């Protein structure tokens, strides 16, 4: 028989569940530390490479090997389609629109990329010590960005249609001049 000394706790006395709770707590702490470290390093990298003249503001995947990228070069913002080839969709050079677009994109990238269920949002806001985030302001910011984005895409498609119409008119005039 195995005799236990009085100084050592028995596994049955402390409980398996308390060890399980402790392991889960430590696991959550490690994951939280990793997330905060990744965010910190991400902010540091933005600071290290912030002096570049070309800055990628964001992008959206549209399909396999196809995406839409927003790039800042100098004081202008370019909307670029990337796929088998790279094409310029639109150039935004109005300083007011550029500032608004950059502010919206930076605010979007500063927030968490993972959307939590409402009950988890309430729980995390309690731990942060703040009140619940205002979803109305977030919706307004995202809707204004969405509206600006859609209007720019519509303008670009209208410009392309006008260019196509002008080219067709030129071709028809050129054909009528041929003997």
Q: What is the DSSP string of 52-73?
A: -SEEEEEEEEEETTEEEEEEEE
Structure tokens at 60: 């959206």
Residues 6+ apart with CB under 8 A from 105: 57, 58, 70, 145
Mean pLDDT of 3-13: 54
Does residue 35 carry a pLDDT above 70? yes
pLDDT of residue 8: 56
The sign of the dihedral angle between the CA atoms of 139, 144, 148, 150 is positive
Using DSSP, state whether 134 is helix, strand or coil. coil
- Tokens describing residue 117: 């269920």
Mean pLDDT of the chain: 75
pLDDT score at 126: 72
Does the pTM of the predicted model rise above 0.85?
A: no
The token pair at 62 is 């549209």
Burial per residue of 15-53, b for 16 or more beta-carbon CB atoms within 10 angstroms, e otherwise: eeeeeeeeeeeeeeeeeeeeeeeeeeeeeeeeeeeeeee
CA dist 136 and 153 (Å) reads: 25
Distance from C-alpha of 125 to C-alpha of 115, rounded to nearest angstrom: 13
Among the listed residues 152, 80, 74, 139, the one whose alpha carbon sits nearest the alpha carbon of residue 104: 139
pLDDT of 30 reads: 96
pLDDT of residue 153: 84
Distance CA 151, CA 169 (A): 27
pLDDT of residue 1: 44
| pLDDT at residue 45 in the model | 66
- Confidence at residue 111, expressed as pLDDT on a 0 to 100 scale: 58
Tokens 């796929």 label which residue? Answer: 83
- DSSP designation for 126: H
pLDDT score for 21 = 92
**Proportion of the chain above pLDDT 90, given as a percent:** 8
Distance of CA 153 to the CA centre of its chain: 19
Write down the pLDDT at residue 134.
52
pLDDT in tens, 78-99: 888 888 888 888 888 787 887 8
């Amino acid at each position: 028989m195995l005799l236990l000394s009085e100084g050592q706790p028995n596994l049955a006395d402390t409980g398996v569940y308390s060890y399980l709770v402790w392991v889960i707590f430590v696991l959550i702490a490690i994951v939280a530390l990793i997330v905060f470290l990744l965010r910190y390093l991400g902010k540091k990298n933005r600071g290290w490479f912030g002096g570049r003249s070309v800055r990628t503001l964001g992008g959206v995947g549209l399909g396999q090997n196809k995406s839409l990228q927003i790039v800042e070069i100098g004081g202008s913002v370019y909307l670029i389609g990337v796929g088998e080839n790279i094409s310029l969709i639109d150039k935004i050079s109005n300083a007011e629109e550029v500032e608004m677009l950059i502010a919206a994109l930076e605010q979007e990238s500063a927030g968490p990329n993972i959307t939590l269920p409402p009950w988890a949002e309430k729980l995390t806001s309690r731990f942060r010590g703040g009140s619940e985030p205002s979803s109305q302001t977030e919706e307004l910011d995202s809707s204004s960005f969405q509206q600006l984005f859609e209007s720019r895409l519509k303008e670009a498609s209208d410009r392309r249609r006008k260019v196509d119409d002008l080219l067709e008119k030129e071709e028809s005039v050129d054909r009528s001049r041929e003997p």
